[in-house]
Structure 1
Amino acid sequence: MSTAKELAQDVLKAQPEDASYEEIMRELAFDRMIAKGLEDCRTGQMIENSEMEHRIRQWQG
C-alpha cells in the first residue's frame, strides 16, 4: 500500500512543469476525492440516488 506522501508524489509527477500551485492543489484534492469514493463503494458506504435527491431537496429548504 502506498503512503500519502507517495500518492501525492505520483500526482505531482503527472503535472506539467508550468502547473500553478492552485492547479496542483486541485489535482491533489480531486485524486483524494476519487480514492475516497472508491473506498466508500468497496465498503458499501453508499446511498440510493432517490435518497440523495431527497436530502438535496431538504437542503434547498
Structure 2
Amino acid sequence: MDRMKKLIETLRVLIQEEFNGHIRINFSQGSIGRVEKSEEFDDTTFVSAAAKNKGKGREEKCL
C-alpha cells in the first residue's frame, strides 16, 4: 500500500509541474511492479527506458 501512496503523491507533483508525457505502470500480482516515465520536449520524445541500451541506463522510479 505504501507504493500506491507514493505513486499518487508523485502523480500529484507531476500534475503541478505540468508534466507532458506518459507514465507506464506495470502491476505484478495486484501490486505495483514498476513505473516508467517518458516526457516530451518540443517535437522530440525522450524515452526514459531507452530501447538501444536494452535496460542499461534505464531510468525507472521504483516505488
Give TM-score, length-normalised by structure 2: 0.34
Q: Select the structure that is richer in strand.
A: 2
Structure having the larger proportion of residues in helix: 1
TM-score, length basis structure 1: 0.35
Higher normalized contact order (CA 8 Å, seq sep 6+, divided by chain length): 2
Bigger radius of gyration among the two:
1
